[in-house]
Structure 1
């Protein structure tokens, strides 16, 4: 858990907010006019709201940008008596959104923020205005979802390591030291811009995982895939119709070694058949780090145009 007032040399200068609505102390950024439409940014593994720092600064003059840290990540609490499966994160997000009564939501999702956000969309489709994926899967009841997940896992170094580590019993121990092996974990998943690697940048991503007890969120997400404990939310027919009609945008770094475009972009295009898809050559899994200016331009123009 990152200290609430940590700004990492001014690179994350946003006022911290906290709520107990999900049953633990959840941190979130809430920047921009309260009457403006909401942009809800959802991070994945093993990141936190810091991932969206450039996007927050770019959008907050015209949008209300809300960025929660999932349970066990960032400045949010890491309860020791909770499970950390996908369905738990969807439950937490639902309670968070309802407590703030967020509507007209533009989802911006990265990594496992994708299935968390799509879980929210399945439960509350009328609160969603737009859907934007930035290297984040968009599972929404597609019949071939599990086949795609398994095919991707077969060629992804991250998922290959998860499966092996769970079998040999090293997963908890290795991810329990995530604060010390953050750089190798990020590189395994894939970012291409090595100029990002500064002491401040690395400290910002490693700080949430200072002790093994702080790493339950990261361990839970990995272990859930290894043990098939995660449960994807299935939309009903009305939610399916509603979300399919929403404006949507896909931004995908093609150098992603963890979530391959060939396996996961079809989930998006099947759901949003006429939506624009931007494949970014030479950009890795963390497209918001590798190419923030390009991502900001695409997101800003999409929101303006729709």
Structure 2
């Protein structure tokens, strides 16, 4: 866990906020006017709210930008007595959102934040105003979800790696050293903007995983996929109709090797048939790092137009 006041030499200089609503000490960023429209940003594996720092800066003048760290990531606690499956993170997010009473949410997701956020949308569609995918899957009861996940896993180096490591009994050992191999993990997923790499940047992404005990979140998301332990939230008909009626936007780095566009953009378009999709050539899985200005411009324009 990163220290509550750690800013990584000013690159993440946001006041820390904490809540125990989910039964653990959960950190979140809360920037912008309290009465502004809420933009809820959800990170994935193996990142944390640091991923959204450029977007926070771009939006906080007009919007209330709320960015939680999931259990086991960033400045949030990594309890040893909890499980880290997808459904656990959906439960935590639901308690977080209800605890802060967030409404009219523009849901912005990346990576595993996609299924976590869509789980919230299935349970509380009335609280969702917009959906924005930034290289984040949007599973919402689509009939071909399992087929798409399998096809992607067969083509993705990261998923092949974790499946092999789990089969050989090495997954915990490999991901338990994430603090040391964070750069190779980010690169494996598709990180293209090499000029961004600095000591501060590396420390920010490695610090949450300083010991094997602090890697339970990262291990859980990988192991849940490898063992089939994740349970995707399935919306009822009313929730599906409600969410399909919301404005939506997809921004996808086409050099993403972990969540490949050919498998996941159709998942988005099946749900939001009329929604705009921006395909960013030469941009990898971490589009918020590779093309922060472009992503922020598309998001800001979409929020203003809808």
TM-score (norm 1): 1.00
Q: Which residue of structure 2 lines up, in the alignment, with residue 294 of structure 1? A: 294
Aligned partners of 1:191, 1:33: CA distance in 2, in Å? 32
- Give the Å deviation of 1:118: 0.3
CA displacement at 1:33 relative to structure 2: 0.6
1:244-283 matches, within 5 Å, as: 244-283=244-283
Counterpart residue number, 2:58: 58
Match of 2:127 in 1: 127
TM-superposed deviation, 1:284 = 0.1
The match for 1:105 is: 105
1:160 maps to 2:160: yes
Please tell me the root mean square deviation across aligned C-alpha atoms, in Å.
0.3
Q: What SS does the aligned partner of 1:106 have?
A: strand
Q: Does 1:200 align with 2:220?
A: no
List 4+ stretches of structure 1 deviating above 2 A.
Answer: none
Structure 2 segments unaligned to the other structure (5+ residues) = none
| 2:300 aligned with 1:303 | no
Is there any run of 5+ residues in structure 1 with no aligned partner, and where? Answer: none
Partner of 1:114: 114
Counterpart position of 1:24? 24
Distance 1:163 1:138 in 2: 22
Between Structure 1 and Structure 2, how many residues are aligned? 306
Shift of 1:226: 0.4
CA shift, 1:196, in A, is: 1.1
Q: CA separation in 2, counterparts of 1:195 and 1:4?
A: 28
CA drift of 1:89 comes to 0.2
Does residue 87 in structure 1 map to residue 87 in structure 2?
yes
The superposition leaves residues 20-60 of structure 1 with CA deviations (integer Å, 9 ceiling, x where unpaired) of 00000000000011111100000000000000000001101
Residue 299 of structure 1 aligns to a residue whose secondary structure is: helix
Task: Report whether the alignment pairs 1:171 with 2:171.
Answer: yes
For 1:41, what is the secondary structure of its paired residue? strand
